[in-house]
Amino acid sequence: MLTQINFGTSGWRAVMAEEFTFANVQRAVAGIARYVASQKPQGARVIVGRDPRFLGETFCSMAAEILSAHGIAPLVVAEPAPTPAFAHAVIHSRADGVINFTASHNPPEYNGIKFSTPDGCPALPEVTKKIEAAIVADDGSPLPNKDRSTPGALDPKPAYLKRLAEIVDLEVIRKAKLRVAFDPMWGAARGYSDELLRSAGVQTATVHDYRDVLFGGHAPEPDDHLLEDLRAKMRETGAQIGIATDGDADRFGIVDADGTFLQPNYVIALLFDYLVESRGWKNGVAKSVATTNLINALAEFHGVELYETPVGFKYIGELIMQDKIAIGGEESAGLSIRHHVPEKDGLLAGLLCCEAVARRGKSLGEQLKAVCNQVGSFYPERQNFRLTPEVKAKFTEKLKSDPREFCGHAVDRVVRTDGLKLVFSDGSWVCYRLSGTEPVVRVYTEARSEKGLEKLSTAAKNWIFE
C-alpha cells in the first residue's frame, strides 16, 4: 500500500527509510512537477536545493531528473542554503517554484520537502491539495519521455546577502563595536550571518561551523536548552548578543548579554516596537492566534492595525506580499518584515536584534523591561501533551464545545481562528491545537503575572484529562 503524502503547514516531513524513501520522494516530486506543468505548460523553471541533511545531494539529483522528464528546467543549488534564501531566489530569478529538501528543526532522522510558489511564499493549502491530488493521479505512471534539459546551476547566496545588507543597518552595528556570537547549529546558515557581519567589520565568533548530518545528536532547534555552546562562546569572546538559526535557518534563537534566552514571543514584540521607532513603519502587524498578546498591546499603543492569523507562516506571508504589515511573526520563532520575503527568516531576525541592541545601546532584556513598563507584562507558555487514542477522541469532541466558564474563569471570548482559544476578562487566555501528524495537543497559555501563568497552565492541563 502506498503512503499517503500530505503537505502540512510547512511541507511534507517523515523519517528517512520509513516514509521518506526514494520511492516516495519520486512520487512527491512528480506530483509537484505535474502541478507546475499545469500552471505553466511551456518554459517552466524550478529551483532545487537542500539543507545539509543526509542524502540531500542525492535527492536533489533525483528531483532534477524528474522535473526534466516533465519538461521543466531544474536550477540546482550545489551547496546547502537557508529557506529564506530560496524564497528570495525564486522571486529574484523569476523561477516557477522551489523544491527544498529540508526537515527544518526536526530531529536528524527526518527529511522533508518544502515547496514554495513563484512569489516566495510557502505553498498555500489550495496549492498543496492540488499537489497531493497530482501525486495520487500519477502513482504507477512511468516518467514522461519529453526532451530532457541539462540542469542549470544557481547560487542564491550573493543576492540574498546583498538584500540583507540593504535591510539591516550594518554600519550602526559596526560603530557600536558590538561583539556577536553565531550558532548555525550545523545547518544551512553556515557562512551566511557571520560572513555578512564580518564583511561589515563586526567582530563575530561562530560555533558548530561544519557539516554534521546528525546535528550534534539532537534536533537542530535553537531552543534554550540546546544553546549552551553558544553561551560558552559568548563568555569566551565577551559577546553582547548570541544569535542562532535552526536546520534550514527559517527559525531563530536569541541569547541576551547575560546568557538569558529570549522567548520568540518577546523577540517578535521587541522587533515590532523597534521597527516602528527606527523605520517609522506603522502599516500593520500580524501574529498567529497562539502568539503573545504583548503584540496586541503594542499595536494599540502605537496605533497600528493588528492581524491575527491561523498558525502557519503562509498566512502572514500573504499579508507581507500585500504590504499590509511591517512585521509578522509566530511564537514558534518565525518572522519576516515588509519589503522582504513572505517566508520565515531566522537570519534576518538575529541581525535585526543586533541592530536594535547597537542603536538603542541597551540589552534586549532592558528593552523588554522598558516595553512592559509602557504596556504591561505578559507571560506566555507552550506545552505539548501526548494523548492516548481514547483521550484524544474524547478531547476532540470537547474542543467542539462552547464553554462559558473555564476552571473558575469566566470566558470573555471564544476564538476559532485555529483550534480553540478561550480569552478571559483579565486578558489571559488559553489555546488548544491538535497536531495533524501525531497524537499530541499543543497548549498555549498566557497570563499577566507569573503566578497567574502557573495557575492557568495547571488548569489548562487538567481540562484536557478531566
Per DSSP, the three-state class of 285 is: strand
pLDDT at residue 142, rounded to an integer: 79
Rounded Cα gap, residues 239 and 236, in angstroms: 8
Task: Decide if pLDDT at 140 tops 80.
Answer: no
Burial class of residue 466, CB neighbours in 10 A (0-12, 13-18, 19+): exposed
Rounded Cα gap, residues 148 and 146, in angstroms: 6
Rounded Cα gap, residues 79 and 188, in angstroms: 9
Rounded Cα gap, residues 220 and 214, in angstroms: 9
Task: Decide if pLDDT at 408 tops 90.
Answer: no
Q: Express as a percent the part of the chain with pLDDT over 70.
A: 98
Q: Looking at residues 299-320, what average pLDDT do you find?
A: 95
Residue of 341, 372, 342, 371 whose CA lies nearest to 356: 371
Which residue bears the cell 516530486?
Answer: 29
Task: Decide if pLDDT at 364 tops 60.
Answer: yes
Task: Decide if pLDDT at 146 tops 70.
Answer: no
pLDDT tens digits for 303-312?
Answer: 999 999 999 8
pLDDT at residue 147, rounded to an integer: 66
Inter-residue contact 303 to 327 (CB < 8 Å): no
Paired sense of beta strands 429-434 and 420-424, if any: antiparallel
Q: Express as a percent the part of the chain with pLDDT over 90.
A: 89
Q: Which domains does the chain have, with CATH numbers?
A: 12-155 (3.40.120.10), 159-375 (3.40.120.10), 379-465 (3.30.310.50)
Q: Looking at residues 341-354, what average pLDDT do you find?
A: 98
Residue of 258, 256, 263 whose CA lies nearest to 241: 256
pLDDT band per the 50, 70, 90 thresholds, residue 9: low
pLDDT tens digits for 242-271?
Answer: 999 999 999 999 999 999 999 999 999 999
Q: Looking at residues 443-447, what average pLDDT do you find?
A: 97
Inter-residue contact 407 to 430 (CB < 8 Å): no
DSSP H or E segment with residue 69:
helix 56-69
Inter-residue contact 428 to 456 (CB < 8 Å): yes
Burial class of residue 365, CB neighbours in 10 A (0-12, 13-18, 19+): middle
Per DSSP, the three-state class of 124 is: coil
pTM: 0.95
Per DSSP, the three-state class of 82 is: coil
Q: Looking at residues 310-321, what average pLDDT do you find?
A: 92
pLDDT band per the 50, 70, 90 thresholds, residue 435: confident
Task: Decide if pLDDT at 1 tops 60.
Answer: no
Average pLDDT score over the chain: 95
pLDDT at residue 437, rounded to an integer: 67
